[in-house]
């Protein structure tokens, strides 16, 4: 696999194409590149449009998925069409994927705004003015996208991204993240975390791993009560978080996790004692699944319990 990673902007309407977007994102990840999209921002603010254009400027390729909705508009033009026009104006290679007119498509996922229907037809015509692929279902879209991306990368190689050979100081990377990603967007961290979580889940699906711990991350600062989250392949698994102080040898079993239908799990974890005595203390947090012997919340163990499988430990800091 190439050491160059290409950033691929994925543009489409959102609510009607969630599964289809996931398939395109999956195709990007499978060939080792970086999908990005701005659906986590509400489409009603010109300041947010500036954020979108910066993301497109940083992208190497632009993928647009068009079905039967025109989407949210700003000044009478949909954000999807605005993104498309902007990418074309910047000379970014554009890959269009248009729903086949013969495909079966739910009425509730089609345009209901009469004024928007002519705009949608005109936009489809515009996209079809360049080479496009047609798709009838999300599986076909996934395959078409993977092939089209591979061809575009081979015929139109771009600058891309290469991992830096040095580690930047934390204060530089933290400032960069704040100034370039969150600037001017109300509640952006919450939206970005949601999108990042969705991408983590897609990566988890691609890996042959039984368990993923997504929160907290390593070196995270947490309050005394924190909800630990992740994904698991076996929806019937018995998942137990466990905590110990870095300097100690006792492992405290926490409450058993609850698992939702999509494999997401969540568990309440208590870090340290009430008051301020443990503020600043460092702890290790891990998760074990299907223990060999019965355990209960509050059990104190002198070692990791025998279990079918377990996560890596993450270090957390009590605040």
Q: What is the pLDDT of residue 37?
A: 81
Q: Is 277 found in the same domain as 147? A: no
Other residues' Cβ atoms within 10 Å of the Cβ of residue 154: 8
HSE, side-chain direction, 13 A CA sphere, residue 234: 11
Q: What is the pLDDT of residue 136?
A: 97
285 membership: H or E segment, kind and range = strand 282-291
Say which residues have a Cβ less than 8 Å from residue 263's Cβ, sequence separation at least 6.
Answer: 231, 232, 233, 235
| CATH code where residue 139 lies | 3.40.50.10140
| CATH code where residue 288 lies | 2.60.40.10
Q: Which domain range does residue 288 map to?
A: 211-318
In-domain check, residue 217 = yes
3-state helix, strand, coil in the chain (%, to 5): 35, 25, 40
**Residues β-bridged to residue 270:** 225
Q: What is the pLDDT of residue 233?
A: 84
Q: Is 49 found in the same domain as 150? A: yes
Q: Is 132 found in the same domain as 31? A: yes
Quick check: helix, strand or coil at residue 262?
A: coil
Q: What is the pLDDT of residue 175?
A: 43
Start-end of H helices in the chain: 18-30, 46-57, 79-89, 116-128, 138-155, 170-177, 188-206
Q: Name the residue among 202, 194, 152 with its Cα closest to residue 27.
A: 202
How many helices and strands (H and E) does the chain possess?
7, 18
pLDDT in single tens digits along all 319 residues of the chain: 457 889 999 999 988 999 999 999 999 998 889 898 865 454 445 667 888 888 899 899 999 999 999 998 888 999 999 999 999 999 999 999 999 999 999 999 999 999 999 999 999 999 999 989 999 999 999 999 999 999 999 899 898 887 655 554 554 444 444 333 333 334 444 444 444 555 555 655 555 678 888 888 888 888 899 999 888 888 899 999 999 998 888 999 999 999 987 788 999 999 988 888 889 999 999 999 999 999 999 999 998 889 998 888 889 999 8
Q: What is the pLDDT of residue 188?
A: 40
Q: Is 151 found in the same domain as 56? A: yes
Q: Is 106 found in the same domain as 193? A: no
Other residues' Cβ atoms within 10 Å of the Cβ of residue 243: 22
119 neighbors 74 (Cβ within 8 angstroms) = no
Q: Is 150 found in the same domain as 41? A: yes
- Token pair of 247 as six digits: 């300097």
Say which residues have a Cβ less than 8 Å from residue 230's Cβ, sequence separation at least 6.
Answer: 211, 212, 213, 214, 215, 264, 265, 287, 311
59 neighbors 81 (Cβ within 8 angstroms) = no
Q: Kindly report the backbone phi and psi dihedral angles of residue 208, in degrees, each rounded to the nearest multiple of 5, phi listed first.
A: -95, 65
Total of domains in the chain = 3
Q: What is the pLDDT of residue 126?
A: 96
For residue 216, cis peptide bond before it (omega within 30 degrees of 0): yes
């Amino acid at each position: 696999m190439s050491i160059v990673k290409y950033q691929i902007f994925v543009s489409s309407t959102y609510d009607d194409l969630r599964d289809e977007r996931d398939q395109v994102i999956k195709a990007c990840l499978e060939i080792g590149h970086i999908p990005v999209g701005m659906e986590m921002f509400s489409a009603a603010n010109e300041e947010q449009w500036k954020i979108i254009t910066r993301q497109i400027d940083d992208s190497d390729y632009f993928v647009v998925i068009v079905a039967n909705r025109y989407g949210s508009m700003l000044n009478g033009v949909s954000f999807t069409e605005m993104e498309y026009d902007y990418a074309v104006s910047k000379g970014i290679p554009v890959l269009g994927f248009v729903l086949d007119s013969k495909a079966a498509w739910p009425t509730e996922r089609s345009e209901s705004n009469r004024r928007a229907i002519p705009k949608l037809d005109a936009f489809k015509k515009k996209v079809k003015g360049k080479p496009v692929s047609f798709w009838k279902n999300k599986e076909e879209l996934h395959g078409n996208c993977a092939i089209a991306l591979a061809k575009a990368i081979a015929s139109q190689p771009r600058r891309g991204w290469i991992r830096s050979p040095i580690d930047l100081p934390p204060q530089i990377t933290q400032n960069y993240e704040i100034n370039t990603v969150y600037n001017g967007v109300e509640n952006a961290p919450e939206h970005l975390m949601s999108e990042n979580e969705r991408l983590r889940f897609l990566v988890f699906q691609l890996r042959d791993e039984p368990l993923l711990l997504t929160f907290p991350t390593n070196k995270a600062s947490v309050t005394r009560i924190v909800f630990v989250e992740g994904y698991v392949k076996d929806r019937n698994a018995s998942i137990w978080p466990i905590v110990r102080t870095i300097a100690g040898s006792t492992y405290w079993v926490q409450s058993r996790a609850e698992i939702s239908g999509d494999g997401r799990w969540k568990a309440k974890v208590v870090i340290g004692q009430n008051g301020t005595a443990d503020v600043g203390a460092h702890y290790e947090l891990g998760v074990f699944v299907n223990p060999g012997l019965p355990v209960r919340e509050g059990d104190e163990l002198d070692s990791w319990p025998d279990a079918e499988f377990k996560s890596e430990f993450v270090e957390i800091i009590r605040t």
